[in-house]
Chains A and B, each alone.
Chain A
Amino acid sequence: MDLQALGLTLRLAAITTVVLLALGIPLAYWLASAHTRLRPLVEAFTTLPILLPPTVLGFYLLVLLGPRTAFGRATAHLLGHPLAFSFSGLVIGSVLYSLPFAVQPLAAGFRSVDTALLEQARLLGAGRLRTLTSVLLPLSTHSVIAAAALCFTHTIGEFGVVLMIGGDIPGATRTLSIAIYDQVQEFSYAAANRTSLVLIAVAVLALVLLYARRSNKEASRG
């Protein structure tokens, strides 16, 4: 069992989840409330990673973060190392790849809140930020938790983007899914089996906790 890869995978999933909630909540709020022509376009781009092969996203990110682009050269100059093949690069890739898993449940949760409540908040002088923090988020806790659980488990299991952007550097970019790939390449099926079971256990645990919370909530509503 590659404990270093396990630690790195959990760290990547935790950071990605926090970043995705910080980005996803305002973006989902905008998608749930905006009435502009721009909305379908933004919605399409945020959903795109679900349909794109991970290698396509990974390839373009590799190019963007590498020394071929001004952005890649500028970030390498600022950080002292290129973003490609680094843990920070993995976080960026994971955030983009899991974006729909944060935005979709959050936007659905915000849309399900009764508009009469939002109108009352407006009438009582609440601005957009206060409406979000005092009305929408407290009434969408299940969606926030669902988004966090999906982002966490999806990041833990990602392979294509991680391999393209991060390669396979132990302690820096080798996640559990890459470790499984390496173990299979080396015909260490028993080790690959153990690592795979760990991934399955983490995903099942996260989903059971999520659904247990939902059924508790439904039971308390009667």
Chain B
Amino acid sequence: MADIEIRHRQGRFTLDASFSLPGAWTVIFGPSGAGKTTLLRVLAGLSCPTSGRIRFEGRTLLDTAANIDVPAGKRSIGFVTQQPALFPHLTARQNIAFGIQHLDRDRRTARVDEMLQLFGAESLADQPAPQLSGGERKRVALARALAPAPDLLLLDEPLAGLDDTSAHDILARLLSLQGSAQVRIAYVSHDLAEIWRLPAEVVCLESGCVTAVGPLQQVLASHRDRLLQQLRPPS
């Protein structure tokens, strides 16, 4: 269980979010500019909120009142950004191994192989990162984020910009984690078609505020007209 209570000011924008992540999968849904990426950055420890508290699995990651701010690398959180920031001087294998240097060589190799297989990227292992296509980069970035076995995996629009085949394949592989890996996933999207069938809880964000929380289908069904209206480009 994760309890989140954040207030974060960034220029004119204010993110004021208070909610719990009860399930294994949580979709954070909202239009562009709602504060989804800001929320993920605060959760990951990359941005410090003006005030707030984050508790995850009984552990306090952030409590501004008590001056607690666990560094990003010690939160056990993986973060795959919209543009997967692979280290360009390393191969896919070396990228995935970056976060598990503390393991001995055999265990590290085995873990990297496991991750490559999980995301169907075995053939990419020795390719330099700059030579990978967009979809291949996403696979390697996911494998890299998951390799250290984080407790929480943050995915910021992980399927954005991918062709349908790659997107479906990556989503299926992510969904397969539900049965095999002990990891919670917070999945940011603004694409209703992409998230509609996910077995997840949803947190709807609008202009920095949480507008609805609950089982995804239920929330989307009851807010459908308003959400569609919200996602429609202004005429």
Contacts and interface: CB of A to CB of B under 8 A. Distances in A.
Pair from one complex: yes
Contacts of A135: 87
Interface string B70-102: 011110011101010101110000000011011
Main secondary structure of the interface of A (DSSP, over half): helix
A218 to B, nearest CB: 15
Interface residues of B, number: 23
B78 A123 contact: yes
B98 A116 contact: no
Nearest to B78: A123
A121 interface: yes
Q: How large is the interface on A (under 10, 10 to 19, 20 to 34, 35 or more residues)?
A: 10 to 19
Contacts of A117: 85, 87-88
Contact of B98 (A114, A121, A138): A121
A13 B87 CA distance: 34
Interface string B133-160: 0000000000011001000000000000
Interface string A33-65: 000000000000000000000000000000000
A115 to B, nearest CB: 9
B83 A123 contact: no
A125 B74 contact: yes
Contacts of B204: none
A19 interface: no
Interface in A118-148: 119-127, 130, 134-135, 138-139
B85 A124 contact: no
Interface in A92-123: 114, 116-117, 119-123
Contact of B73 (A116, A126, A138, A139): A126
B148 A124 contact: yes
B46 interface: yes
A128 to B, nearest CB: 11
B44 interface: yes
Contacts, number: 51
A138 B89 contact: yes
Interface string B35-62: 0000000001110000000000000000
A138 B87 CA distance: 10
Contacts of A119: 46, 72, 85
A111 B196 CA distance: 41
A142 to B, nearest CB: 12
Given A116-B83, A134-B98, A123 B88 contact: no
A126 B95 CA distance: 13
A124 B83 contact: no
Nearest to A139: B89
A138 B129 CA distance: 14
Interface of B: 44-46, 71-74, 77-79, 81, 83, 85, 87-89, 98-99, 101-102, 144-145, 148
Interface of A: 114, 116-117, 119-127, 130, 134-135, 138-139
26 contacts: A116-B81, A116-B83, A116-B85, A117-B87, A119-B46, A120-B81, A120-B144, A121-B98, A122-B45, A122-B71, A122-B72, A122-B73, A123-B45, A123-B72, A123-B73, A123-B145, A124-B144, A124-B148, A125-B73, A125-B74, A125-B99, A126-B98, A127-B73, A130-B101, A134-B98, A139-B89
The 7 closest A-B pairs by CB, nearest first: A124-B99, A116-B85, A125-B73, A138-B89, A122-B72, A120-B85, A123-B72
